[in-house]
């Protein structure tokens, strides 16, 4: 692993966030962690979430319990597909039109495998819902929309690490297709309405209060229960596992930094060659591609138990390897994710033992 440029995130200053932030998906894994970090920085935060029962709603409740009651935080229950509810959340989050309004859209129907059998959930949350977010941002002249895309947009690309300029026209799941669609939709809104938008391609995020549908969680749960774990593609997979704290640090740094205007842009004479669309997409990953089998071995070590492994073929929609090039992100915000997998998994395991034994 390349450690020559590693540095502690706290060593580099982040810009202050000079306006309230609306976070959709605030009861979700990444959303709740982001809200906590923004509140720690003294931000005013409105959380929006429909508490979908895609996985245990008690976990969403638990995440919200840590937020509710904290000064500066308000929660609104609502669905992205409900324009009225979303509009009311924007009104509540941004009462003062003179202050910049920041929106972070993390609400989505997540999961690659679930999209095979439940396609409509993805259309509603990720397409209609995202369109509603863009419309609400346009109506409110939002200073910056930061939204979640996904490393899955790289599909079956075999050239690693993935760079933002690589082709992403071959999604291998509907989930990935909706995330790629979000990038196109955001670009169109940025171009049409000068709405500053930044898409973030998250790479396999893990950490405390994480997601029960993801491999690291399922493995930990099964290992502790003495049940076999199901290892797809016979274990021959590599993932760029990214700790949630690194994701949150990157998002928080991006919020007050929309794309800089292009000095040559002339709105009176739009020209495809010079038109300024304040839209960017960044990878945000750990720059290391870890073997799935090494992740399992680390979990076994941390849990003090051996896993019973059941080897299965590759699943539809899955990709063999993900790995992020994060040079563009680092150039933009002076930060790159760097938590080593073992250290990061230990934070998950510490939390998970308590949650699992509750
Ligand atoms: P999550 O499922 O824990 O969080 C998503 C939240 O959005 C949930 O709390 C859910 O209740 C809410 N939600 C879903 N549909 C909604 C709707 N229609 N209206 C309102 N709220 C809705 O997932 P997460 O891991 O925190 O992911 C956050 C974002 O990051 C998602 O957009 C996801 O696709 C993306 N992402 C995550 C990962 C990862 O590894 N966790 C990787 C790539 C991309």
- pLDDT tens, 46-65? 999 999 999 999 999 999 99
User: Are the C-beta atoms of residues 308 and 301 closer than 8 Å to each other?
Assistant: no
pLDDT above 70: residue 261 = no
Cα torsion 74, 77, 80, 82: sign:
negative
Q: Share the mean pLDDT of the chain.
A: 92
What is the DSSP secondary structure assignment for residue 265, as one 8-state letter? -
Residue 149 CA, closest ligand 1 atom number = 44
- Model confidence at 9: pLDDT above 80: no
Name the token pair of 12: 């580099």
| CA distances, 225 to each of 8, 210, 235, 296, 305 (Å) | 36, 19, 21, 15, 10
Q: What spacing in Å lies between the alpha carbon of 144 and ligand 1's midpoint?
A: 19
The pLDDT of residue 5 is 40
More confident residue, 1 or 259: 259
pLDDT above 80: residue 216: yes
* Nearest alpha carbon, ligand 1 atom 3: 28
Q: How far is the CA of 263 from the centre of ligand 1 (A)?
A: 36
- Which of the four pLDDT bands, split at 50, 70 and 90, describes residue 12? low
pLDDT, tens digit, 9 for 90 and up, residues 313-350: 998 888 899 999 999 999 999 999 999 999 999 999 99
Could you tell me the residue ranges of all domains in the chain? Answer: 9-206+241-287+318-338
Beta bridge mates, 242: 205
C-alpha 106 – ligand 1 centre gap (Å) = 5
Given a cut of 60, whether residue 7 has pLDDT beyond it is no
Strand duo 290-291 + 238-239: pairing:
antiparallel
Question: Does the annotation count 175 as an active-site position?
Answer: yes
Provide residues with CB under 6 Å of ligand 1.
Answer: 25, 27-31, 49-52, 60, 79-81, 106-110, 125, 129, 148, 150, 202, 204-205, 211
Helix (H, G, I), strand (E, B) or coil at 279: strand
Structure tokens at 25: 């998906």
**Centre of ligand 1 from the C-alpha of residue 214, in Å:** 12
State ipTM: 0.99
| Residue 293 confidence (pLDDT) | 96
Please tell me which residue in 102, 114, 154, 175 is annotated as part of the active site.
175
Cis peptide before 311 (omega within 30 of 0): no
Please tell me the distance between residue 156's alpha carbon and the centre of ligand 1 in angstroms.
22
The DSSP call for residue 113 is T
Alpha helices in the chain (DSSP H): 29-40, 57-67, 83-93, 114-117, 119-122, 129-139, 174-193, 215-225, 244-254, 292-303, 327-333, 341-356
pLDDT band at 1 (very low <50, low <70, confident <90, very high): very low
For atom 11 of ligand 1, which residue has the closest CA? 51
Does CATH number 3.40.50.300 belong to domain 9-206+241-287+318-338?
A: no
Distance (Å, whole) CA 14 – CA 99:
20
pTM equals: 0.94
Buried-exposed string 218-229: b where 16+ CB fall within 10 A, e elsewhere: ebbebbbeeeeb
CA distance 59 to 210: 9
The predicted pLDDT at position 267 comes to 65
Query: Ligand 1 pocket: which of 23, 28, 65 to mutate (most atoms <8 Å of CB)?
Result: 28
Rounded to an integer, what distance in angstroms lies between the CA atom of residue 346 and that of residue 331?
30
**Per-residue model confidence as pLDDT tens digits over 128-163:** 999 999 999 999 999 999 999 999 999 988 899 999
Q: φ and ψ at 342, to 5 degrees?
A: -65, -45
Give the percent of the chain with pLDDT over 90: 84
Rounded distance from Cα 201 to ligand 1 centre (Å) = 13
- Least confident window among 8-22, 174-188, 212-226: 8-22
Q: Which of 110, 245, 282 to mutate to test the pocket of ligand 1 (most atoms within 8 A of CB)?
A: 110
Residue of 22, 27, 30, 151 with the most ligand 1 atoms within 8 Å of its CB, for mutation: 30
Rounded distance, CA 273 to CA 287, Å? 33
């Amino acid at each position: 692993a390349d450690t020559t440029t590693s540095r502690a995130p706290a060593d580099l200053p982040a810009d202050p966030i000079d306006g309230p932030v609306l976070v959709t998906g605030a009861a979700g894994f990444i959303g709740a962690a982001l809200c906590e970090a923004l509140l720690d920085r003294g931000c005013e935060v409105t959380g929006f979430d429909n508490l979908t029962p895609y996985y245990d709603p008690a976990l969403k409740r638990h995440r919200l319990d840590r937020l509710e009651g904290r000064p500066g935080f308000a929660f609104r229950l609502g669905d992205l597909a409900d324009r009225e509810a979303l509009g009311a959340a924007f009104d509540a989050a941004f009462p003062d039109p003179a202050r910049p309004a920041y929106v972070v859209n993390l609400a989505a129907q997540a999961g690659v495998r679930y999209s095979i059998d439940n396609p409509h959930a993805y259309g509603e949350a990720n397409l209609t819902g995202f369109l509603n977010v863009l419309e609400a941002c346009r109506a409110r002249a939002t200073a910056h929309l930061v939204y979640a895309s996904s490393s899955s947009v790289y599909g079956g690309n075999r050239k690693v690490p993935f760079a933002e300029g690589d082709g992403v026209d071959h999604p291998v799941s509907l989930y990935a297709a909706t995330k790629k669609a979000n990038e196109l939709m955001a670009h169109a809104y940025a171009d049409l309405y000068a709405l500053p938008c930044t898409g973030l391609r998250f790479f396999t995020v893990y950490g405390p209060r994480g997601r029960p549908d993801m491999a690291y969680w399922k493995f930990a749960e099964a290992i502790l229960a003495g049940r076999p774990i199901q290892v797809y593609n016979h274990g021959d997979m590599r993932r760029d596992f990214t700790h949630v704290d690194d994701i949150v640090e990157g998002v928080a740094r991006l919020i007050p930094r929309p794309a800089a205007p292009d000095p040559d842009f002339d709105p009176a004479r739009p020209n495809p060659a010079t038109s300024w669309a304040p839209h960017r997409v960044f990878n945000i990953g750990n720059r290391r591609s870890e073997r799935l089998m090494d992740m399992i071995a680390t979990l076994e070590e941390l849990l003090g138990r051996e896993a019973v492994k059941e080897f299965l073929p590759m699943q539809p929609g899955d990709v063999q390897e993900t790995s992020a090039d994060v040079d563009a992100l680092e150039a933009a915000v002076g930060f790159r994710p760097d938590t080593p997998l073992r250290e990061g998994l230990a934070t998950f395991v510490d939390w998970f033992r308590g949650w699992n034994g509750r």
